[in-house]
């Protein structure tokens, strides 16, 4: 069986001219598969079925392999069986209809409304940095934009009169998002008393500035966010993206329709947004179990 794998790798090298790294990946995948067959006491490749291959992939998944690696493993096995068919060593390809195990989608980590309020209360607005930080946190929760989108906002990206934000997301796709009253209040305070004191160059277009008067970076925001989560002493392990998750979940919990939330988040596919409905259902069940007298 090892000799057949060696012949296959030689075929890939000579006939198809694949790169050395690719050949090594194929060989590694197939040796693992061969060892799995031996553990199952299967004497040749033809003894394997589609179920056997699925079991192999499940075992690899349990080791923590990424979806991309599992997909490559299956591709290696499928190509190998095509070679065996070509050489008339097997009569069928059991990998032809095999699929990689589905990866369970992890539910996003969402803050309670009380924890969000606690976090938003942390910046002290007696100085330009506190005004900036308060405005940034309020804006993230009010709009659900990503940190990368936040730091790339320019001075003309936000219209305080109409209460809308213009944001360029993934794939340079632009979207317009409404701003809540609390976010507008913080943004006005920052523009009036914070940004002018941080500004060093009047031609700077960035909305949020660092201590040097230049555009704040993602790394810079992460440090700021970490500081306030520690001050708030929130028990959950959260990231700036948690505010985006919380924005979507809280909207849905309070009756927003899925299409509107999808539009505001900038999701191309509504199935991406639907994961928040699972969080909402879980939350409803928790409330029911805590409050219903016969739960």
Catalytic residue among 32, 215, 241, 283: 241
Q: What's the mean per-residue pLDDT of the chain? A: 88
Residues 61 and 164 grouped into a single domain: no
| pLDDT value at 213 more than 90 | yes
Lowest-confidence pick of 35-39, 86-90, 280-284: 280-284
Number of domains in the chain: 2
Question: For residue 255, what are the domain limits?
Answer: 113-124+136-183+215-291
**146 an active-site residue?**
yes
Q: What is the pLDDT of residues 108-130, one digit of tens each?
A: 788 989 999 999 999 999 999 99
Catalytic residue among 61, 134, 195, 267: 267
Q: Looking at per-residue confidence, does 18 or 121 come out higher?
A: 121
Alpha helix segments (H runs only) across the chain: 2-14, 20-39, 50-62, 67-86, 113-120, 128-143, 147-151, 181-189, 195-198, 218-232, 241-253, 258-265, 270-291
Catalytic residue among 124, 170, 200, 218: 170
For residue 132, with 0-12 CB atoms within 10 Å meaning exposed, 13-18 middle and 19 or more buried, which class applies?
A: buried
Residues 74 and 117 grouped into a single domain: no
Q: What is the pLDDT of residues 147-188, one digit of tens each?
A: 999 999 999 999 999 999 998 877 678 899 999 999 999 999
For residue 98, is it within any domain? no
Contact by Cβ (8 Å): 180, 188: no
pLDDT of residue 16: 84
Residues 23 and 81 grouped into a single domain: yes
pLDDT of residue 255: 87
Residues 53 and 118 grouped into a single domain: no
Instruction: Count CB-CB contacts under 10 A for residue 270.
Output: 12
* pTM score of the predicted model: 0.62
| pLDDT value at 131 more than 70 | yes
**267 an active-site residue?**
yes
Percent of all residues in the chain with a pLDDT value above 70, rounded to a whole number: 94
Q: What is the SS3 assignment for 174?
A: strand
Catalytic residue among 72, 146, 245, 250: 146
Residues 117 and 259 grouped into a single domain: yes
Catalytic residue among 26, 33, 81, 276: 276
Helices 128-143 and 241-253: crossing angle in degrees, nearest 10, is 50
Contact by Cβ (8 Å): 104, 121: no
Catalytic residue among 132, 195, 244, 250: 244
Q: Looking at per-residue confidence, does 263 or 215 come out higher?
A: 215
**105 an active-site residue?**
no
Residues 247 and 119 grouped into a single domain: yes
Helices 67-86 and 50-62: crossing angle in degrees, nearest 10, is 150
Q: Which of 148, 188, 178 is nearest to 247 (CA)?
A: 178
């Amino acid at each position: 069986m090892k000799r057949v794998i060696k012949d296959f790798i030689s075929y890939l090298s000579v006939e198809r001219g694949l790169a050395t790294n690719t050949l090594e990946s194929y060989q590694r995948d197939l040796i693992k598969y061969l060892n799995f067959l031996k553990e199952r006491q299967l004497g040749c490749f033809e003894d394997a079925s589609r179920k056997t291959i699925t079991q192999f992939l499940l075992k690899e998944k349990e080791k923590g392999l990424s979806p991309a690696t599992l997909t490559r493993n299956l591709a290696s096995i499928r190509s190998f069986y095509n070679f065996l068919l070509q050489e008339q060593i097997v009569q069928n390809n059991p990998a032809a209809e095999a699929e990689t195990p589905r990866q369970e989608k992890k539910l996003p980590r969402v803050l309670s409304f009380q924890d969000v309020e606690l976090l938003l209360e942390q910046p002290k607005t007696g100085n330009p940095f506190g005004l900036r930080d308060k405005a940034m946190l309020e804006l993230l929760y009010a709009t659900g934009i990503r940190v990368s989108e936040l730091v790339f906002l320019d001075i003309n990206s936000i219209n305080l009169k109409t209460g809308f934000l213009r944001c360029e997301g993934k794939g340079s796709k632009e979207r317009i998002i409404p701003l809540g009253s609390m976010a507008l209040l913080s943004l006005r305070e920052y523009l009036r008393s914070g940004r002018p004191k941080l500004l060093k160059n009047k031609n700077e277009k960035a909305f949020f500035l660092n201590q040097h008067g230049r555009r704040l970076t993602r790394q810079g925001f992460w440090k700021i966010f970490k500081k306030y989560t520690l001050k708030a002493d929130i028990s959950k392990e959260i990231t700036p993206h948690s505010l985006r998750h919380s924005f979507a979940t809280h909207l849905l919990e309070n009756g927003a329709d899925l299409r509107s939330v999808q539009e505001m988040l900038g999701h191309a596919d509504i199935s991406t947004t639907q994961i928040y409905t699972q969080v909402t259902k879980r939350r409803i069940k928790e409330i029911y179990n805590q409050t219903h007298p016969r739960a």
